Amino acid sequence: MISLKINNIPVYVEEGTTLLEAARSIGIKVPTLCHLKGISELGACRVCVVEVKGMNSLVAACEYPAREGMEVFTNTPRVLNSRKTTIELILSDHRKDCLSCERNTNCELQRLSHKYDCDSHRFAGAQREFVYDDSTDYLIRDNSKCILCRRCIAVCKRQQGVGVIGANERGFATHVACPFDMELAHTPCVGCGQCINVCPTGALQEKEEITRVQEALANPGKYVVVGYAPSVRAALAETFDMPVGTNCQGRINTALRYLGFDKVFDVNCSADFTIMEEAHELVSRIRNGGTLPMFTSCCPGWINHIQKNFPELLPNLSSCKSPQQMFGALIKHVFGKIEGIDPRDLFVVTVMPCTAKKGEKHRTFTDGFADVDAVITTRELSSLCKENGILLNELPDSEPDRPFGEYSGAGMIFGATGGVMEAALRTAVTILEPDARLAPLEFTEVRGLNGVKSAGYTVDGKQIKVAVVNGLNNVNAICEAVKRGESDYQFIEVMTCPGGCVMGGGQPIRATIVKHKAEIAAARANVLYAADKSMYTRRSHNNASLAKIYADHIGEPCGEQAHKLLHTHYQALPKYIKQ
């Protein structure tokens, strides 16, 4: 431990602690724009500068280490004037359409500009030529709002291991872009949206589909059905100033009805269908010598990654569609049949925590019809509610419609890393274990936020070894081991986003200071596990609605009709596409 003073207050911290962390340890907030703990700590923005007694130059608190006997000042006139000037210089090259910007009132640059009473026109002059990239189905990059903080670059490369963007050119011409200024759609980008979640301004945002949803709702010829993912209920409340970790699923059902949807269902139900298919597929591979290990196929970012970077492992992927795509297929071809509605007249909307889901909706078709018509993120649902004057925190609870609103606790936990694995094991072990009464209900070994988790189970005399991976940067080593034939796993769950879907690229954007103070991923995951624990039905195959739909419309899991509705196939994709 070392001792120093910050604003004349004694501080004791471990050697190697930065001045930023030392200040926060005693409740002093030093502002930042480029800093992300453990990911981006390069001091590029110079907003976090502080004064150190005996030094001529101000230093960046986010990267400068605390030292024994140091005297640091975070609020001297020199420091405050430097921060204000830096922010005003950033504003001089920033498009200032704040009132209509997606990030208005939730923009870190805007907050700091107000805090330091900045003059946005003080340094008026030349501006860079800006790049606007809307080439993908899921994301827009508007460099007229980019402040060159490089957070997106760091999270893409260091956290996700993808690295498709960087700082191009030098000096005043510097801009964030893909190699050779290629459009994002032509790169190995997987669509995870983690870059959006760390962008301090509106330079990165999801491609909006609110307008399409509103048009469908206003069309009397369309029967509009909506379903929302497990993790949406664990995060939407945050956008209405409710505490992190608030379960608002009952109010979501009410809000969606107020918006005018004809039916409000729950994607938890189709998650149960996913488990039925995936668990039976896994058991079949184990018993019949199929390709192992089997990878889960629920996460579209992971699917993009394996198609572009590990095409030789495509046979290892489960052939199951994701819960989102299963939901669309079931609505158009089972619910439509039950209600006598032509699939042409059904418009299926999903609410997802994920930007990659926007691209996934173009992947699968059943009988010539797209399974899903529109995908909005948790953030977009929040905007849609607010635009329509719906105050989520003041709504009564209500239940989803039947039959596609009935689900098990296994479907609920899909949103957390390890949740798909645990849900699948609850059913697979029941199938494999001759005495189903001995089958465990909870598999806590695969829970938690570690990047890689593994566990082994003995079932019916067979050893089953599984792995759970979250964050793409963690999956490459496992994929290489599988390629070399060195993996002894039978089943591997992969989620692109660290923490799983609860931390997806479409979830509410939190200020970086909040991310340092709260375990947001754990709080959101706890919503799902608590809801699972409170449910009477906790295994997918015990979902009564699911059993009836199989009996009346689909037949056996992994049977002919099930494959037609609920399964798909994958093909290799090029890493780069020439423009």
Whether pLDDT at 433 is above 80 = no
At residue 510, the pLDDT reads 84
Whether pLDDT at 264 is above 80 = yes
Closest CA to 249 of 267, 225, 275: 267
Whether pLDDT at 124 is above 70 = yes
Distances (CA, A) of 363 to 84, 186, 303, 357, 426: 48, 17, 11, 10, 29
Relative to beta strand 491-495, strand 294-295 is parallel
Is the overall model pTM greater than 0.75, yes or no? yes
Domain with CATH 3.40.50.1780 in the chain: 211-566
Number of neighbours of residue 439 by Cβ within 10 angstroms: 18
The whole-angstrom separation of Cα 230 and Cα 424 is: 16
Domain with CATH 3.10.20.740 in the chain: 2-75
At residue 469, the pLDDT reads 96
Domain with CATH 3.30.70.20 in the chain: 100-206
Whether pLDDT at 436 is above 70 = no
At residue 131, the pLDDT reads 79
Whether pLDDT at 196 is above 80 = yes
Specify which residues 226 forms β-bridges with. Answer: 264, 349
At residue 515, the pLDDT reads 56
Region 403-413 average pLDDT: 96
CATH of region 2-75, choose from 3.10.20.740, 2.40.30.30, 3.40.50.2300, 3.40.50.300: 3.10.20.740
Region 312-332 average pLDDT: 97
Closest CA to 525 of 476, 472, 470, 473: 470
Q: Residue written as tokens 């709702």?
A: 217
Whether pLDDT at 530 is above 80 = yes
Specify which residues 228 forms β-bridges with. Answer: 266, 351
Average pLDDT of every residue of the chain:
93
At residue 219, the pLDDT reads 97
What digits encode the pLDDT tens for the residues 492-513? Answer: 999 999 999 999 999 999 876 5
Least confident of 30-44, 139-153, 352-366: 30-44
Query: What CATH topology corresponds to 100-206?
Result: Alpha-Beta Plaits (3.30.70)
At residue 349, the pLDDT reads 98
Region 21-45 average pLDDT: 89
Least confident of 244-258, 305-319, 458-472: 458-472
Work out the pLDDT band at 437, boundaries 50, 70, 90.
low
At residue 42, the pLDDT reads 81
At residue 43, the pLDDT reads 84
Region 394-422 average pLDDT: 96
CATH of region 211-566, choose from 3.40.50.1780, 3.50.50.100, 2.130.10.10, 1.10.10.60: 3.40.50.1780
Whether pLDDT at 125 is above 90 = no
At residue 514, the pLDDT reads 52
